[in-house]
Amino acid sequence: MKKYIIIYLLFGCITLMNAQNTEYMLSSEYKQALRQEFYRLVNAHRKANGLRELEVHARLEEYADIRALEQKARFGHTRPDGSPAGSGWYNSQNFMNTRFAENAFSVHRLDPDPLKAANYLFTRWRDSAGHNRHMLYNFSPPIQMALGIVPELDSSGRVSSGAIWATGFDEYVGILPDNLTSIGTNAYFNSLFTSVTIPPGVTTIGFGAFDACKFLGSVVIPAGVTRIEARAFSRCDELVSVTFLGVISANNFRSDDSFPGDLRLKYLAGGPGTYTRQRGSNTWTKQ
């Protein structure tokens, strides 16, 4: 009889502890502790890599929470209605000109200890090359960050959540190493640059070097560049200004898809100078 009483008491204590854990995990205190530890880990990671710390932005946290909730309906970087991940941020009344980028994750069982939960999220993103690159971007000027996480009790009684680590920024100037002599294949693929100046010592821009840099608006190609490979700046939809400071022969600038639209053809006909286009147009004009 005593054996059953002890088992019953142990079971009751475990049930009570689980209930208390769940209540805490659904609280704002748990969420705030998780966020603060995550931010500390990100900035310590950046500092260890010689980068400036990021600031937390309250409004961005609100939008990141929305995106975290949306992960259950549609995981990834597209919103449930099919619009881009940052559409709600772009359309916010006070942030019409800002940019948005995110890391996404789905946590099926959050740890009751918010510090352990934060470390789990951070580690998963740090150990993924693409997500870690986002955390270690050399942002300039200072960038805002936010962690979106909305713990919920699922049908199995577990506390789970979608998770979004987001950055919002006005400008992201690409700062490339001064000693670069060649930019290799896919070197800055899908980076967040809004503008970039190629260092003067660079002679070759490789295949896909800046492919899919969807926010890149302007670039300066120094006089020392004598070769541009295919797809070097392809799918740079926001690119509207390119300045060529030197001469590149047709044989070393052989692919029309090196840039959007007809820029290669216009450059080969017009030579060095600044070329611009209207956003979305395939037609470039020398200024």
- Tokens of residue 142, six digits: 């200072």
State how far the Cα of 7 lies from the Cα of 10, in Å rounded to an integer. Answer: 5
pLDDT of residue 16: 41
State how far the Cα of 12 lies from the Cα of 52, in Å rounded to an integer. Answer: 50
Q: pLDDT under 70 in the chain at which residues?
A: 1-20, 90-99, 139-143, 169-172, 192
pLDDT of residue 21: 77
pLDDT of residue 279: 81
Cβ atoms of 258 and 207 within 8 Å: the answer is: no
Q: Which of 183, 286, 173, 174 is nearest to 226 (CA)?
A: 183
State how far the Cα of 182 lies from the Cα of 203, in Å rounded to an integer. Answer: 6
Q: What would you report as the CA-atom Rg of the chain, rounded to the nearest whole angstrom?
A: 24
pLDDT of residue 196: 84
pLDDT of residue 11: 47
Cβ atoms of 225 and 203 within 8 Å: the answer is: yes
pLDDT of residue 226: 96
pLDDT of residue 176: 81
State how far the Cα of 223 lies from the Cα of 203, in Å rounded to an integer. Answer: 9
